[in-house]
A = this chain, B = another copy of it.
Amino acid sequence: MSLKTPKGTTDLNPDDALVYEDLIDRTKNIFKLHGAVPIDTPVFELKSILLNKYGEDTKLIYDLKNNGGEECALRYDLTVPFSRYMSMNKLKKIKRYQIGKVYRRDQPSVVQGRWREFLQADFDIAGESLPMMADSELVCCMNRLLKTYNIGDFVIRVSDKRILYGIFEVCEIPNNLFATVSSSIDKLDKIAVNDINKELKLKGLTDKQIINLNIYIQKSGTVDVLDFLRENDVYKKCSEAVDDLCKLYEYCKIMKCSDHLIIDLSLARGLDYYTGMIIEGKYLNKNIGSVAGGGRYDNLIGSLENSSYTNTYNVPCAGFSIGLSRIFSCIQKPKVNTNVKVFISASGKLLLEERLKIQSILWEANISLETFYNKRNNPGEHKKYCVKHGIKYLIVVKEEQYNKGFVTVIEVNTNLENVIMIDNLPSHLQ
């Protein structure tokens, strides 16, 4: 029998799983700080709900076998299930987070932390919002997260789908090429501009269109980019979006989260459903691409609507995902990582019942511990185990001492040895 995990998936050993637990807790705490509440959705959805959402990537969806029931597929992200949840319950407003695994039948890359099963943490603000109020909170929240993970310097790049399309119009790129040109530009972060230009030519753009386009998509900065846009023909096409982006920058300055913010006109975001502000976060010293991404998607929830209901239901929405599997791949792993405070050893005899008794006392006092189940009552070995796993105290049970109501407690770091009355163990070990 082939003993492995399916292609592109992996186990987490205890050290890694503890790092993940910590990563999830820290992420969750920041979402909660921002007043978000959790929801959960199934790992698989009706296939019909996932169709026409992911452009060319629809082919990466994992389908379930249909045994005479519904056509189902593993979720590709958490955004579409969230939108389905909103629409199904006809909710008007929520700030929610969701942390869960998503599935993409992509080419895996272990080095880059790119898996077929990976963990995402999503933060979305659904409901009516004055321009950039919700959007700027996304920047603020993403900024706080990327700082918290303590991986190194990072940038948060923002732009707006409306500006991108405004640029396309000014460059006289035909409407029907918008999507495919977007997805080429989206790769500018990974692929050299010359190669992108070759690709654009293959996709049918003229040299003039490409030259014009290059003027825009190489602009990246802060107020200078906003000034450039304001004085450019693009402003006529999408003045509202440009003004919004200015406002976003202002709001971020007020909330002290503009230090890492870059307005980057090459930002494109591949997915079909974005309608306004788009955002991506990445660490500068790590070669793993973006670790967070999202944007505004004002029509997705409405587009899912059950047509038997009124036609007017829609909820504007903006949010982002953090790729926790990617964050994990570049996070500093702690050297020892244990939950356990005490190891109970025995000297001379095995002293099973005596150890069970002490176990029971310490558990009642909420002190985490391990003992040994086999016949090897070797306090020396157990001491080494404690050192290796960062366990603070080694208790050695000795028959004679025990019968008088005492055990030996060794503080592993200092080798300090004390004989402690069993009744006093909980307070001694707290």
Contact = CB atoms under 8 A, between A and B. Distances in A.
Contacts of A21: 38
Contact of A144 (B12, B140, B356, B363): B363
A375 interface: yes
Number of copies: 2
Contact of A101 (B2, B43, B125): B43
Interface in A13-37: 13-14, 16-18, 20-21, 32-37
Contacts of A18: 37-38
A281 to B, nearest CB: 18
Interface in A38-55: 38-46, 48-49
Interface string A192-208: 00000000000000000
A63 interface: yes
A38 to B, nearest CB: 4
A20 B36 CA distance: 16
A69 interface: yes
Interface stretch (A130-138, A180-188, A403-411): A130-138
A370 B376 CA distance: 57
Interface string A236-253: 000000000000001100
A129 interface: yes
Which of the four size classes fits the interface of chain A?
Answer: 35 or more
Contact of A40 (B11, B32, B340, B360): B11
Contacts of A87: 3
B43 A17 contact: no
A67 interface: yes
B94 A14 contact: yes
Given A65-B65, A251-B353, A352-B130, A84 B44 contact: no
Contacts of A117: 42-44
A344 to B, nearest CB: 10
A424 B359 CA distance: 48
Nearest to A41: B11
A374 B93 CA distance: 11
Contact of A356 (B85, B101, B251): B251
Interface core residue of A35, A49, A255, A368 (most chain B CB under 10 Å): A35
Given A11-B85, A363-B33, A368-B34, A352 B6 contact: no
A39 B87 CA distance: 35
A39 B17 contact: yes
Given A17-B37, A40-B12, A84 B3 contact: yes
29 contacts: A1-B49, A1-B307, A2-B49, A3-B88, A4-B46, A5-B42, A5-B46, A6-B72, A7-B70, A11-B39, A11-B41, A11-B42, A11-B85, A13-B39, A14-B96, A17-B39, A18-B38, A20-B40, A32-B339, A32-B368, A33-B363, A35-B369, A35-B370, A44-B117, A62-B64, A63-B64, A95-B370, A127-B374, A254-B353
Given A14-B94, A140-B360, 11 more contacts: A12-B40, A12-B41, A13-B89, A14-B96, A18-B37, A34-B368, A35-B370, A43-B74, A129-B373, A130-B350, A257-B360
Interface of A: 1-7, 9-14, 16-18, 20-21, 32-46, 48-49, 62-65, 67, 69-70, 72, 74, 84-85, 87-89, 94-96, 101, 105, 117, 125, 127-130, 133-134, 136, 140, 144, 250-251, 254-257, 304-307, 338-340, 350, 352-353, 356-357, 359-360, 363-364, 366-370, 373-375
